[in-house]
Chains A and B, each alone.
Chain A
């Protein structure tokens, strides 16, 4: 990890003193994103846990940000990029350095209420990086299920466990034929930084990065284990790290030995009620997914 630490600037663009839960991977995500995208970046946040560090006084973010509403986060990318284009053309911009536009959105905001907006922005290929922070439920309002909640998970609106499967949002984005789709996890920060840099340097177009973000508060595990749970999700094959560049798939990390899903599921209180059959069902799903992807 030292090579990564030496490569990135030491300056913090997402400062301490923010009100995220202790152990929230969102803090790590935004810190790394800030270091990669730097000072000249403008972001849109959605109504989610991550709206609070930037849009509640005092703010932790040192770069400008916009909050529209829960369903219109991708419209922020659309509007800002269109404005930048015309202002540049007319010579009305003060600076000529490239400004990176990105959006940070929760899974509920991206996959449910904002699905139409996200789909529209992707289809228009608006210039920006859309980072979906997937904590697999509506966490900010107190752990309600979203379409990205996985099978069997407890939430306050699925008290016996969710009976539907998780919506595969990266695959939906691939179907839009955008230049870049990638998945990432906070347990693999070098992988995430590489992908973000690739997205940043790719030129114009809509790029989508789906970051798996275990939530200690909502998934019911001790907050010090956040990175460990993230790693287990990848090592058990439940979350696959891959990227799709112009419709070409590439898996960026293959666990040498895929651990049984039980290792991952038993760390979290939200899966405490799962039976052996449930776990086997989930294991089979993982096998099928890997086969399909290979």
Chain B
């Protein structure tokens, strides 16, 4: 009275005789695959890859999550290679960048941000790149590009253009390459050997250097116009003047001039007390250099600490080194004696908030005071030296008429770096060099750069990415990761590893590097803190928690896949995914 196959077929109104129904009210086997519970759902989970906020915030679009993933696996060479697809100078950025990535880092909303900046430096220092004699030679039939200016922007564009196979010739006015990296940033922040190593890495892409050569004097603009394309990045090396009486006296220096002299090995007699005017990174660097040279610096800044434009790390280091900062103070007069600086007269200010944006400075009349100083160094801003610009642009207004995207004024001429209107940081300079290289590549291939500005970005409006551009990757349709996507139940509070620094009494005229970086154990610990936002890290939470067991493993790719025939769309996987790599989509009626 019983037949081998399960007689209770999927259609319960099938005509079976009582003779065929298995006796004993038994269900044989497990045929639940016949019940397609996927039809129940009205939202469906999708395994997505979202752009993490660190990468979105990085002006270079470095795939930080993937880089840290490689560091976790001790694949330092692979990590460095990955970084260098977007950033030619990890060793430099890992020391001087103001790390907007860490500001965006979602770990920062949990306990402290991941040490992205220091990890970039660790990778660069760790991988022993043998750079000598490894330069490549470009194909002599490829197009020729001239780069004017050997600072970070120029070097960056030379690097990318060389990688793309162009013949690049770099013209630098000074004897050494580096621009502001060499003359502006002191060695205790950026050691010279690191700088040289990084520059060599860029030149190894087949870049020919002509230095010292000032275009317009040593080389004519006609020669430059003979190239197929030109990238101009001469930086802002002209200091903004104070415009107060006495600024021409002896003992008054501009910040950039002062730093250039010191960083190139020269010496300046300053005397004992030095007043430094300004609130930017240059002012801070000047003060710390002055301190190392044995004088006593005092910084005068006309706003308060909150509105000080220098990087927070820098201000803190200056305070650690005991450099006094007088806030809400503006200089009005430099007293001289026999043509030499004797004293500085200042007035106090207050700030009046103007809604959004920076406050308005109000000078308090009658609050004058004078202090004795032996030298005054002013660092209140830099601007481009127009005498170095191509002839057509010298007469232009304040704005340089070309941006990296389009060469409106002069076909084939592109510009970048501090000289154009953008944020004046090292990382933005490198980014503009990258954008310049992409623009030149588009221009030389006959395409209009205006047509493609967004397709080279990460995400909807993220940073420009060389990987996206070269691989023609389509943009992800999913929104970026936010803190709400992170399930913090799966992470444990863990502070950042303590970074070691040079002892205060060793910070002297030898200009030894202050930040000593991470050891390997610390680096692995730091990398372990990264959440891996927005991309599945195979934690298998979804597989374990799914009540319906619809999360399966694609063995070839090693990834998880969802069986939509049975997924009921409950959303537990999305809720328990620690990194927000699962999104729920409303199921549309077909």
- A interface residues (Cβ-Cβ under 8 A, vs B): 1-2, 4-6, 10, 12, 14-20, 22-28, 31-32, 53, 55-62, 186, 189, 216, 222-228, 231
Contacts and interface: CB of A to CB of B under 8 A. Distances in A.
A57 B549 contact: no
Contacts of B571: 23, 222-224
Contacts of A62: 29-30
Contacts of B32: 15-18, 53, 58-60
Contacts of A17: 32-37, 548, 566
**Which range holds the interface residue count of chain B?**
35 or more
B572 A23 contact: yes
Contacts of A32: 544
Given A22-B40, A189-B545, A227-B576, A16 B566 contact: yes
Interface string B17-33: 00000000001011111
Interface stretch (B282-290, B385-393, B404-412, B535-543): B535-543
Contact of A28 (B544, B563, B575): B544
B576 to A, nearest CB: 5
In this complex, the member of A4, A27, A216, A225 whose beta carbon has the largest number of chain B beta carbons within 10 angstroms is: A27
A52 B571 CA distance: 22
Contact of A231 (B31, B489, B553): B489
28 contacts: A1-B539, A1-B540, A2-B539, A5-B544, A15-B33, A15-B549, A16-B565, A17-B37, A18-B32, A18-B37, A19-B37, A20-B547, A22-B547, A23-B570, A25-B547, A27-B546, A28-B547, A32-B544, A56-B27, A57-B8, A58-B27, A59-B32, A60-B30, A223-B570, A224-B570, A224-B572, A226-B547, A227-B576
A12 B543 CA distance: 11
Given A6-B540, A16-B33, 12 more contacts: A18-B35, A22-B41, A22-B570, A27-B549, A31-B546, A31-B549, A57-B31, A59-B32, A60-B32, A62-B30, A186-B545, A225-B575
A59 B548 CA distance: 13
A111 B293 CA distance: 82
A19 B35 contact: yes
A189 B544 contact: yes
A16 to B, nearest CB: 4
B550 interface: yes
A2 B30 contact: no
Nearest to A26: B547
Given A1-B544, A58-B34, A223 B550 contact: no
B548 A27 contact: yes
Interface in B414-450: none
B574 interface: yes
A19 B40 CA distance: 10
Given A1-B539, A225-B575, A16 B549 contact: yes
Nearest to B34: A58
B107 to A, nearest CB: 19
B548 A223 contact: no
Contacts of B566: 16-17
A17 B572 CA distance: 17
A60 to B, nearest CB: 4
B568 interface: yes
Given A17-B33, A19-B37, A59-B32, A4 B27 contact: no
A59 B547 contact: no
B381 interface: no
A12 B27 contact: no
B569 interface: yes
Given A58-B10, A223-B571, A16 B563 contact: yes
A67 to B, nearest CB: 9
A223 B30 CA distance: 26
A140 B46 CA distance: 31
Contacts of B548: 16-18, 20, 27
Contacts of A25: 547
Chain B interface, DSSP helix/strand/loop, else mixed? loop
Contacts of A186: 545
B253 to A, nearest CB: 56
B352 to A, nearest CB: 44
Contact of B575 (A4, A58, A228): A228
A59 B572 contact: no
A23 B540 contact: no
Contacts of B550: 16
Interface in B533-590: 538-541, 543-550, 553, 563, 565-566, 568-572, 574-576, 584
Contacts of B546: 27-28, 31
A225 B27 CA distance: 33
Nearest to B10: A58
A130 B348 CA distance: 80
A177 B324 CA distance: 73
A22 B38 CA distance: 10
Contacts of B549: 12, 14-16, 27, 31
A27 B37 CA distance: 13
B213 to A, nearest CB: 58
Contacts of B41: 22
Given A16-B548, A28-B544, A55 B575 contact: no
A175 to B, nearest CB: 33
In this complex, the member of B12, B33, B568 whose beta carbon has the largest number of chain A beta carbons within 10 angstroms is: B568
A15 B549 CA distance: 7
B10 A223 contact: no
Nearest to B538: A2
A224 B33 contact: no
Nearest to B36: A17
Nearest to A27: B547
A58 B31 CA distance: 5
A27 B32 CA distance: 13
A6 B543 CA distance: 11
Interface string B43-64: 0000000000000000000000
Nearest to A56: B27
Nearest to A34: B549
A16 B550 CA distance: 7
B547 A24 contact: yes
Contacts of B545: 28, 186, 189, 227
B30 A1 contact: no
Nearest to A30: B547
A28 B570 CA distance: 13
B574 A224 contact: yes
Contacts of A189: 544-545
A4 B553 CA distance: 15
A179 B317 CA distance: 63
A71 to B, nearest CB: 19
B552 to A, nearest CB: 9
B547 A57 contact: no
B541 A61 contact: no
A60 B490 CA distance: 31
In this complex, the member of A14, A18, A216, A231 whose beta carbon has the largest number of chain B beta carbons within 10 angstroms is: A18
Identify the 10 closest CB pairs spanning chains A and B, nearest first: A27-B547, A224-B571, A17-B32, A16-B566, A5-B540, A22-B570, A58-B31, A23-B570, A22-B568, A60-B32
Contacts of A27: 546-549
Contacts of B30: 15, 58-62
Given A59-B32, A224-B575, A1 B547 contact: no
A59 B563 contact: no
Given A1-B540, A17-B566, A227-B572, A58 B547 contact: no
Contacts of B12: 57
A59 B539 contact: no
